[in-house]
Structure 1
Amino acid sequence: MNARRLCTALWLLLPFIHLHAAELTLELGTHSQRLSSAQLLAHPQAQTVEIRDDVSYKRSMRYRAVPLAALLQGVQPGDHLQLVASDGFAAELSAAPALSQTGSQAWLAIEDPAQPWPPLGAGKPSAGPFYLVWQNPAASQIGPEQWPFQLASIRTLAPVAQRFPQLLPAADASPTVQAGFAQYQKNCMACHRLNGAGDSQFGPDLNIPHNPTEYFSSDFLRRYIREPQSLRRWPQGKMPGFTLEVMSEAQLSELLEYLQHMAGRKVQP
């Protein structure tokens, strides 16, 4: 086999090599471990689950999966989780719904190298090797940002307000602004930083150098959040639209109040 054919063969094998070598890192307080795809597929609680209205694939999907609660050794409902994807997406989540045995149920889906999942789109990889999926997500108000795919690590951390005081509204901020801070944590923080604060490496900062409320009119900003590519269309655009089912008009108003409030509280990173 000449060098060119060898390189081509290795390139074709890369996705399968990646799947075989895939590991999920768990950093749960003093407990830390790495689990391979093979270990997770052989987990005693692994089973086949059906996920209706899968957030990433936009249809029903079936996965080999382990209850997330079975992997969260020593984690308590009051703890805070961060789930980081290989592309820098960093979802923040209270541990309570992840541990719940009723209502919403969280599953870690594991991609089997022998039965790879479909790609997420033309020229895109699959959601694997690890993907957090939910049954009955509405019961715990789980939004699309709490479905991280290509998951690389899960860890317990202090709550967002303790880790990043740069994100906090003023002490005398209105209840609407405080509610908007909660919406920011749920819907924006997985992709964006604000005042340089956050762990995501995915999207731009929402306050430095300029806050979107400073260069979008209110109507256009609402439209942009609902359907980003209706205003800015480009092939690399990755921001999802936030439908009424994900974020009500009242919740969107709360988020915009928070962003506008933070435009007056810039902190240079």
Structure 2
Amino acid sequence: MSAGGNVQVFDRDALLARPDVVEITTSRDVAYRNPRTYRAVALAKLFEGAAVPAGAVVEAAAQDGFVTQLPRDLIYAGDGIVGYLAIEAADQPWPPIPGKAKSAGPFYIVWVGHEAPSVPIMNWPYQVVSLSVQDAPARRWPSLAVDPTLPALDPVREGQIVFVNKCLTCHTLNNAGPATAGPDLNLPMNPTEYFTDAGLRALIRDTRSVRVWPEQRMPSLSKEDLSDEEIELIVAYLKHMAGRKNQATERGSGKP
């Protein structure tokens, strides 16, 4: 875990020995798809004493290259939504995730509380290997930005926000972003340049409705996790960014 230049390394035995470890039960479990009970430490407790500035995010990276940005306000939301780092004990291994060979451990971020079902599936990373406090993505990677001359209420601006929250967990764009699970969505070609509109929308909703291959990772996304309106906004953002490749490459890779 890193914050403000300070790095802490935790192993599961040390975490399980903390006095603030509690037993929790999920009502909606993204990995296992049914309620499960875990020993866990609240994320807010884990970051006690660490600087998580307003507007910053906690970046959670997983073993498979999936990376998600947890908003600070979500981590400190309160009783309605409480985030936890669930810890798999070495002598009590969790079962394999349905359809996978491995469990969600050794670390899995889960959410409880009456508002927990509203937390997007992208914010339930499992097989977590690191947590770090970072600037918000749009500030960290300027090459994600839309044309600054766009009107304030242009849907493309909202599409950028949705893209960062829902797509940057697996993909990069203009080489910007930390994830390695999926391909870059602007370089060398933007998907709006080789998919029909209908095909791209179908791919985003359910990849397997368009094509299937053995190493396929992208999950199907229900309307609860990604609405039709959000898909429209993502497509609008991608179409816009197809014309902003040169700006990104002239500045460099877009990485920090």
Fold conserved between structures, TM > 0.5: yes
| CA gap 1:163/1:90 in 2 versus in 1, 3 angstroms | same
Aligned to 2:9: 34
- Select the residue among 12, 15, 28 that pairs with 1:53: 28
Q: Give matches, 1:1-269, under 5 Å.
A: 26-73=1-48, 74-76=50-52, 78=54, 79-122=56-99, 124-136=101-113, 138=115, 141-174=118-151, 175-266=154-245, 267-268=248-249, 269=253
Larger Rg: 1
Q: Which one-letter code corresponds to 1:190 in the other structure?
A: T
Aligned to 1:15: none
Q: Which one-letter code corresponds to 2:121 in the other structure?
A: P
Would you say the 8 A contact 2:28–2:116 is kept in 1? no
| CA gap 1:83/1:263 in 2 versus in 1, 3 angstroms | same
Point out where structure 2 has 5 or more consecutive residues left out of the alignment.
none
TM-score, normalised via structure 1 length: 0.86
Deviation per CA, 1:201-243: give whole Å up to 9, x if none: 2110000111111111111111111111111112211101221
Size of the alignment, in residue pairs?
244
Distance 2:16 2:105 in 1: 13
| CA gap 1:253/1:136 in 2 versus in 1, 3 angstroms | farther
TM-score, normalised via structure 2 length: 0.90
Q: Which 4+ stretches in 1 moved above 6 angstroms?
A: none
Shift of 1:58: 1.3
Would you say the 8 A contact 1:89–1:190 is kept in 2? yes
Q: Which one-letter code corresponds to 1:98 in the other structure?
A: I
| CA gap 1:158/1:235 in 2 versus in 1, 3 angstroms | same
Would you say the 8 A contact 1:190–1:200 is kept in 2? yes
Distance 1:209 1:120 in 2: 34
Distance 2:82 2:53 in 1: 14
Would you say the 8 A contact 1:75–1:95 is kept in 2? no
Distance 1:158 1:210 in 2: 27
Would you say the 8 A contact 1:131–1:149 is kept in 2? yes
Greater share of helix residues, 1 or 2? 1
